[in-house]
Structure 1
Amino acid sequence: MEKKRILRIKVIIIGVLVIALFCIFSISLYSNLIIYSKKSKKFFLNDFFSNGKKDNLTYQIKSNDARETIVYKMEIPKKEFDRINSENYKIVIYRIASHWYKVYFNGILIGSVGNLENDSSIVWNTINYFDIDKNLIKDINEISIEIYYTYEIGALSFPPIITDVKEANRLMNWFKFVLSNIYIIAIGIMWFSFLLLMILSNLMKNPKKEYLYYSLATLLFSFYIFDNILIYDMIFSTIIFKKIIFSCLYLSVSFVSLAIYREFKGKINLISIVLILFSAIVIIFFSNNMVLLKKMAGIFNILIILNILGWIYSTFKNLKISNDAKVIFSASIFLMIVTTYDIFFMVFGKTGIYNTISTNILGSIFFSLVIIVLVVFDYIELYSKMSWEKERADLFYEKSSRDSLTGVYNRQYVESYIENLTPPFSLLMIDTDRFKEINDTYGHLVGDEIIKYIARESVNNVRSGDVVARWGGDEFVIALKHRGEKDNSLYVAEKVRNAIKKTYTIDGLNFNVTLSMGLYTVESKEENKIIFKKADDALYISKENGRDRITVWKENMRSV
C-alpha cells in the first residue's frame, strides 16, 4: 500500500512539474515570438535621450531617494510610420519602473498611468497603450515619456513599441494575461492551498504541526505576490508596502524551514530561520528609504537561497528513510533553480525578455501543490487506516455480541439493547420444550443442531429490525419493535412458533420441536430486570399450561 501511495505521489508531482516547466518556457517563448516577430509591423523606441545624454530607458537603482521627474525624448521620422502603413497607430509601453508616467507625442499629452498627485501607485508591472492621432504625424516627430520615480527607473523588459491597432491589441491581450491573470490565479491557488491545508489538518485526528506551518507559509507568500499586481492608489506609502511585502516573503520561507526542521530535525534549518527572521527585522526597523530597502532586500534575498539549501540538505539526509523527504527534496531542487534565477537578475539589476514573469512564483506554486499532494495522501492514508481500524473494531464487537453456536446475538448484547430501546416494544422469552430429554437421549450434537434450527427459523420469521438472541442453553429472546399504532408482536410470535413446530429431521431422525413463549409489552421505561422477569413469568405460565403456546403477560398474573 505504501509503495502504491509513493508511486501515485511521484506521478502527480512529475505531472505538476512538467506543467510548471511547460508554463515557464511557453510563456517565455511566446513572449519572445510575439515581441520580435518579423512578420508584425512595429518599431522599437530604443534611441531615447535624457538631459542631453543618450539613455534608452535603461533600468537603474538610484543611490538615494530621488523623488524626481525625468523626461526621455526620442525623434521619429515619418518614414517609420509609413512603413507600418496603418490608419491608426499606438504606442505600447511595458513594465516601466516608476510611480507614474506621462506620454507626449509632438508636445501633446496622449496618456498617463498612475496617480499623478503622489507616489502611492505601483505601475511597474503593467502594460499600457496610447493612441497616436494620424493627423499629428509630421516629417520629424518627438515622443516624450515623463517619469516620476523615487528609487528605481527604467524599462524592465523590452523598450516601448509603436505599432498598428491589431498588433497593439495582440500585445496587450497577451501581456495583460501574463501580468494580471497569472498573478491573480497564483494568489487564488495560494489561498486555496491555505484553506485546503487547514481543512485537512482539522479533519485529521492528530495532524502534524508541519501542516500548519506549510499553510501559513502559503498564505504569507500570497501577500508577497501582491507586489506584482497593479495598484493605482495605495492607502499607505510605498516603503511601508514594500516592508510588508518582504516581511511576508521572509516569514513564508521561515515557516517552511520550521516545518522541515520539525520533520527532519536539521539544525541548519534553525540557523537559516534565525538569519532570515533577523533580515525581516532589519528591513522593518532600519530601512528608512526605498533605496536602502532595495539594497537590503537584494542582499537578504540570498538568505532565501540559504534556506532552500537547508531544505535540500535536511531532506537529502533522510532520503533513505522517508518518502516525504524524497518528495520535498525534489520540489526544493526545482524551487532552488527558479528562485536563484530570479534573485540573480534582481541583485544584479538585469532586465530583458526573461523578466516577463517571476519564475519563483511559479516555483512556489509548484512547491505548494507538492505539499498539498503530500497532505492529501497522508489524509487518505490516515482515513483508510481509521476506516480499517473501525471495521476491525466493528468486527470484534460483532463477534463479541454474537453467540458462537447459532450466530444470533448473545445475552450481553440483548440486555444492553433492551436497556437503550425506547418504548413501546415487546419482549418474547422462548424455551424449547423437553429439550433436556432430546439432549440426554440423542446427545449434545443433536441438541446443538436443534438449537441452531430454532435460531435460524426465528431469524427467518421475524421482521426487519427485530432482534433475536440466545439467552442461554435452549432459551431465546426476541426484542420486537412496535410498528405504528397497531402492535402485532403476538402475530410475529405465533409465526415463529408455527415455523419451528414443523417436523425437523437430523440424520434420519424426526423431531417435533415445540416452543413455550412468554410475551411482555413495555409501554413505558422500566428496569431491565423487571422487563425480563415479567416475560419469564409469562413463559412459566405457558409451560405450566401444557407447553407449545404463547402467554401474554397481564397485570394480575402471578409472579414465579
Structure 2
Amino acid sequence: MIEELIAQTLNKAIENNVNLTPYNYYKLFIETATQNGLNLTDLKKYLYEEYKEDELTDQIKERIERIVDNVKKEISNASQNISETLIAQENLHLEDASNAYEEIEKLKKINLSLKMNLEKAMRNIDLERESLEKVKVKVYRDSLTGLYLREYLQIKLKENLYYMERYGRIFSLFMIDVDDFKDINDKFGHQIGDNVLWQIGNLIKKNIRSSDIPVRYGGDEFVVLMPETDINSAKKVAEKFTDKMSKVIFKKKDEEFKVTFSIGLTCVRKDDTLDSIMERVDAALYSSKRSGKNSITVFD
C-alpha cells in the first residue's frame, strides 16, 4: 500500500512540476493518502512506526533517481535522434554539395574541352586562312614578274576603300606604263621585252614597303597600291623608282638602250569607288603620255 502511495505521490510531483523538498513531499503524500481513503491519524502512526525516516528518505531518493535516470535516458535518446537527424541532414547537404561539386567539375571539364576544341578550331581556321592566302597569292601571281595580277588589285582596293569609309584610312596608288614598249618588242624581240618587264617588276619590289601591293596590271602596265600613304609620299616613291630605272641599261649583243616611263598618281577620296579611283589614276597616266612621256602626273 505504502509503495503505491509513494508512486502516486511522485507521479503527481512530476506532473505538477513540484519541487520535492521533504516538506512538499510530505504534504503531497498526505493529500494522496487522504484521496485514497486513508485516515490521517492512522497513516501518520503507521508511517512513523513501520518506516524509519532514513528508510523512507532512501526510498524516495531511489525513486527519484530512477525517474531522473529515465528522464536522462529519454533526453539522451531524444538527443541521439536529433543528432542522427542533423547528421543525416548534414550528410544530405554534403551529398548535395558533393553532387554539385561533381557537376561543377564536369562542367569545368566540358568547358575546358570546348575551349581546347575552340582554340584548335581557331588555329585550324588561321592555318586555313594562311593556306588560302597562299593559294590566292599563287593564283594571283604573274608568272613572269612575280607581281600580283589585276584581279588581286581589285580585291585589295575594295578592302582599302572599306578602311577609308570606316576608319578614314587614306591610301594612294600610281600606275606605270613603259614608254614605247611595242617598239622594244619589235626591235629587240619578245625575249628582251620580257626581260625588261622582269627587271621592272624586280625594281618595283625592291623600292616599296612590304605592306604595298605591286601589280602587273596588264601588258606593260603596272600599278602600286600604297596603304596609309598620302599623295606626296607616293610621288616620292614613284620618283625614286623612275630614277633607279633610268640607270638600268639593257643590252642585246652590241646594242644598248634604256627604258622610260609615264606615271599617273592619285590619292583616295571620301566617296571613291573602285571604278572612280581607277579612272582617275588612268587619266593621270594618259596625261603623262600626252605631255611627252617620261613624266609623272598627279591627279589631285
TM-score by length of 1: 0.33
* 2:283 is the counterpart of 1:537: yes
**Match in the other structure for 1:495:** 240
**How many angstroms does 1:527 deviate by?**
1.9
Residue in structure 1 matching 2:138, options 379, 389, 399: 399
SS at match of 1:120: helix
SS in structure 2 at match of 1:119: helix
Shift of 1:520: 1.6
Partner SS for 1:517 = strand
Q: Can you list the C-alpha shifts for 1:231-268, whole angstroms capped at 9, x where unaligned?
A: xxxxxxxxxxxxxxxxxxxxxxxxxxxxxxxxxxxxxx
Deviations 1:147-205 (A, max 9, x none): xxxxxxxxxxxxxxxxxxxxxxxxxxxxxxxxx9xx98x99787445323234336647
Alignment partner, residue 522 of structure 1 = 268
Say which SS state the counterpart of residue 87 (structure 2) adopts.
Answer: coil
Structure 2 counterpart of 1:457, from 188, 196, 203: 203
Cα distance per residue 1:451-470 (max 9 Å; x no partner): 11111111211234222111
Aligned counterpart, 1:166: none
Q: How far apart are 1:401 and its partner, in Å?
A: 2.6
AA aligned opposite 1:198 = N
Cα deviation for residue 395 of structure 1 reads 1.7
Out of 172, 181, 198, the residue aligned to residue 111 of structure 2 is 198
Contact 1:403 1:410 in 2 (8 A): yes
- Decide which structure has greater strand share: 1
1:488: Cα distance to partner? 1.7
**Which structure: larger Rg?**
2
> Structure 2 stretches of 5 or more lacking a match?
1-78
Native 8 Å contact 1:430 1:539 kept in 2: yes
Which position in structure 2 is the counterpart of 1:137?
none
Instruction: Return the offset for 1:548.
Output: 1.0
The 1-side partners of 2:245 and 2:125 are apart by 43
Cα deviation code 1:37-71 (max 9, x no counterpart):
xxxxxxxxxxxxxxxxxxxxxxxxxxxxxxxxxxx
Higher relative contact order (CA 8 A, sep 6+): 2
Identity of aligned residues (%): 31
Q: Distance in 2 between matches of 1:408 and 1:400?
A: 11
Flag the 1:388–1:541 CA change in 2: closer, same or farther, 3 A: closer
Partners of 2:298 and 2:81 in 1: CA distance: 93
Task: State the alpha-carbon separation in 2 of the partners of residues 394 and 499 from structure 1.
Answer: 31
User: Which of 85, 95, 99 is the matching residue for 1:119?
Assistant: 85
More helix by share: 2
- Whole-angstrom distance in 2 between the partners of 1:451 and 1:442: 13
Q: Distance in 2 between matches of 1:519 and 1:391?
A: 32
Distance 1:548 1:456 in 2: 20
Alpha-carbon distance, 1:550 to partner: 0.2
Per-residue CA deviation, residues 96-150 of structure 1 (Å, 9 max, x unaligned), is xxxxxxxxxxxxxxxxx9994551315999xxxxxxxxxxxxxxxxxxxxxxxxx
Shift of 1:483: 4.4
Does 2:198 correspond to 1:442? no
